[in-house]
A and B are shown apart, each in its own frame.
Chain A
Amino acid sequence: MAVAPAASPTHPPTDPAAPLIAGQYAVDWTRPLPGAGGGLASFAVTDRPTLMALQVEHHLPARLRPLQMLTSPLEGVLCPLAHGVGAAGHGITGYFVICSAPPGAPVAVDPRPWREAELLDLVLRPAAQALEALHAIGIPHRAIRPDNLFQAGPGQPVVLGAAWAAPPAALQPALYEPPYSAMCLPAGRGEGVPGDDIYALGVLLLTLALGRPPLAGQDDAAILRRKLDVGSHAALTGEERLPPLIADLVRGMLAEDPEHRPSASLLRDPPAARTRRVAARPSRRAQRPLQVGGATIWSARQAAHLLATNPAETVPALRVGIIDHWLRHGLGDAALAGRLEEMVRNRAADASPLDPAADALLAMRGVALLDPLAPLCWQGIALWPDGIGPALAASMRVGGEENRAADRLTGLIAAEAVGAWAMMRQDRQDAGIMRLEGRQMRAAQMHADKMHADQGLAGNRLAGKGLAGQGGGMARLRYQLNPLLPCASPLLAGRFVARLADLLPALDAADGVDPAKTRPIDAEIAAFIAARSERRLEAEIAALTDSDQDVAGSLAQLRLFAQLQNRVFPRPLPGLAAWLAARSGALDQVWYNRARRGSVQERMNQLAAAGLIGQMLALIEDPAMREADRQEARDAIDAVARIDATLRQLRDGGAERAELAHRLGQEIVACVGVAVLAAVLTTAALG
């Protein structure tokens, strides 16, 4: 039984002109499927009753890797079939992931204690089988929880819901996540490891066995503290009575170290999985607690958590040696105390007192040393390195927890903390690759500053202040790390643009924008183009200036869009071309001859009406015509100079002309006199 749509299935298609996803799926946004998306909005697919469309939230991009790798359906999990932009109603578009529709309602809608046989046959084995297939291709599910687990009916095996339309584990409550994932920013939990799925499945088994969620009524922070204080298994099971087999399985599945949890393939045979016991060393508890910042610490793990969540009060204690003294004398771990003391001493010698990141780096290293399983902790936030991209994307969501963390994420990348963190746990991952990734992120972040330095411009890297150098910075990094993140420019309001090819038609169709006041590119679009064009348009983006009201800025803008049209959308764009033409007033100055300006402008308008941006650029940059114009201008300047000189000569030549007139007059008179005299003498001589 599929989840019933809220509206009639005979409802007519809402927008015939809406884009089809993968050329065949139309989202019927008038028919939402409540509860089918496991926390995301879901809709029916027109004429496809067995499918559903999950709507991707703007600031929580879909998982590209599973969407690319899950090309064929897997049993026991709702696999993606296609993804793309579709109609989201009211004239706007959204990004959708097309999946198989759930076979029934989520198990969360009917909370009841499940029997052991049901848990094993209907939940554990089908889920383990699906997870085994996913893990075989390197994809953790990361969204196993009762409201994303579906059952067609009583006695039917459950099906794992879709987990592809949001960052990994972004929608997971802390209860279903291992503590080292739960303490992270929701969007920064990273892809994770298969063991994270096993942990969530263990909590799910526990929840279903009890008929209610453990630690009900406690918030995520309290659940996390409880898990860290006493361990996940003890925190969640407490004094609850469970079937012996389930209790043993859950104990193994909730192991703190993911490597100690049973694999999915092992869980397909629960009795065998039950026998697998990994002797994990219990966390050492101090004989006397340490009081720091009002908190009471009993273990190194609690100390690490306090250092991660409250570095302002814990770092001073770390610097003066209070914590390593307690480790040595209170906890009795002299080796750990020695390593911590050495680390603090080395870092104190290395770090500049003026370096604002020194304390953060010290705290980050301290956490990694005290608790090797902990994620990267930076100035009060925690995340896994591969979750930086989604965390940056979520930081754009106004009011969210990640939004408050945006500045700290910037500092984290600027300090290349990922590389430093990886060096602290070389036994768990390839520190070299992590350092390289951290360096690349910082390079992308700093790109704007470098371009500013090259151009001699004052730094205005933060978005919204201008365009110069906006090919870099955090915005570009955000788009680079999130291939499916839509462009956040307000110029694209209502349109979901995640691919470069979709940008130009979206700008072409933009309405409600006054071309005279608004340019067709802003900092977000520049960063988006820079990230998506993979450096092919680097020069054009670097040439952008803060204004398009001068020749350089206007020409750079026109050149960028011409290149884009040529490379990614070779079709007419009359709306965008008209917008660019309206903003190209400064390009008149390219031409010296006014008549030529007029004819070029007229031709520009014709090309704009035809939507040919490339030809508009070619018209402006025509080298033969530009050179002819320049030569004629030079000739005109010379001619005017000659005219001015002659006019000056005429103006200043009055005295000279008077002298000439005097001399000429006298000579004329003399000539006349001589002539008259000659006539008189001749007359006299002839008698």
Chain B
Amino acid sequence: MARRAAAKAEKTKAAPRDGASPKSLIWVQGLLCGGLATLATPTALLVGVLFLPPLIASVVDHQPGKPIARSMALFGFCGIVSPVLNLWAAGHTIAGASRLATDLANLMQAWGMAAAGWLLAELAPIAVRSILEALASSRASGLRAERARYEAEWGFPPAAEEP
């Protein structure tokens, strides 16, 4: 009985991850964005302009977990901290937000950080794979040398095909 209940609970727990959760999350995100746009319109305007590359990436990145978008968001967020603080220090106005959003330096800082996040997300797996392949090759060489020793000592035939 207890086992059946646990299985049911597991099923109900897994179900949102499969279908309902992303939609709910989108709704929550939309609600937060809507609330931010209503309650802090200057901040929303500034963030919307400076955070545009990560937002676009979140749309075009179809990988599970959206690792590119996530990386661009993390680094892009670093790039908008300073303009947002400046906006809040300057009185948090629409004019101030527009001025900061159109400031080329702010744009380059925010978008550059997003670009750096994208670049790192693309290069890091390649680098890790190279390291893993080198380790595997080294291990295979060691094993082949050991096998050759056995062949010489016991007269075993060589391996049929090279790994």
Binding site for B on A (CB under 8 A): 592-595, 633, 636-637, 639-640, 643-644, 646-648, 650-651, 653-654, 657-658, 660-666, 668-670, 672-674, 676-677, 680-681, 684
Contact = CB atoms under 8 A, between A and B. Distances in A.
A654 B135 CA distance: 12
12 contacts: A592-B154, A592-B155, A594-B154, A636-B150, A644-B159, A653-B136, A657-B133, A661-B125, A672-B120, A673-B75, A673-B120, A684-B85
A1 to B, nearest CB: 78
B140 A647 contact: yes
A646 B141 CA distance: 11
A633 B132 CA distance: 34
A633 B154 contact: yes
Given A640-B150, A640-B156, A643-B146, A665 B128 contact: yes
Interface of B: 65, 67, 70-71, 74-75, 77-78, 81-82, 85, 117, 120-121, 123-129, 131-133, 136, 139-140, 143-144, 146-147, 150-156, 159, 163
A226 B81 CA distance: 147
Contact of A676 (B74, B128, B129, B153): B74
A668 B128 contact: yes
Nearest to B151: A640
A670 B77 CA distance: 13
Shortest beta-carbon contacts, A-B, top 4: A673-B74, A665-B125, A661-B129, A665-B124
Contacts of B139: 646, 650
A594 B155 contact: yes
Contacts of A646: 139, 143
Nearest to B125: A665
B143 A647 contact: yes
B107 to A, nearest CB: 17
Nearest to B78: A680
Nearest to A666: B67
Given A668-B124, A669-B117, A673-B117, A643 B78 contact: no
Nearest to B133: A657
B150 A647 contact: no
Contacts of A676: 74-75, 78
A669 B71 contact: yes
Contacts of A666: 65, 67, 70-71, 121, 124-125
Contacts of B120: 669, 672-673
A502 to B, nearest CB: 42
Contact of A650 (B71, B152, B163): B163
A637 B154 CA distance: 9
A636 B128 contact: no
Most buried by B among A646, A661, A662: A661
B81 A670 contact: no
Contacts of A684: 81-82, 85
B29 to A, nearest CB: 19
Nearest to A636: B154
Contacts of B127: 665
Contacts of A644: 147, 159
B154 A657 contact: no
A658 B136 CA distance: 12
Contacts of A647: 140, 143-144, 147, 159, 163
Given A636-B153, A665-B128, A677 B71 contact: no
Contacts of A677: 74-75, 77-78
Given A650-B143, A665-B121, 11 more contacts: A593-B154, A646-B143, A647-B140, A647-B144, A657-B136, A661-B132, A662-B128, A665-B127, A668-B128, A669-B71, A673-B117
Nearest to B66: A666
Contacts of B159: 644, 647
A669 B124 contact: yes
Contacts of B153: 593-595, 636
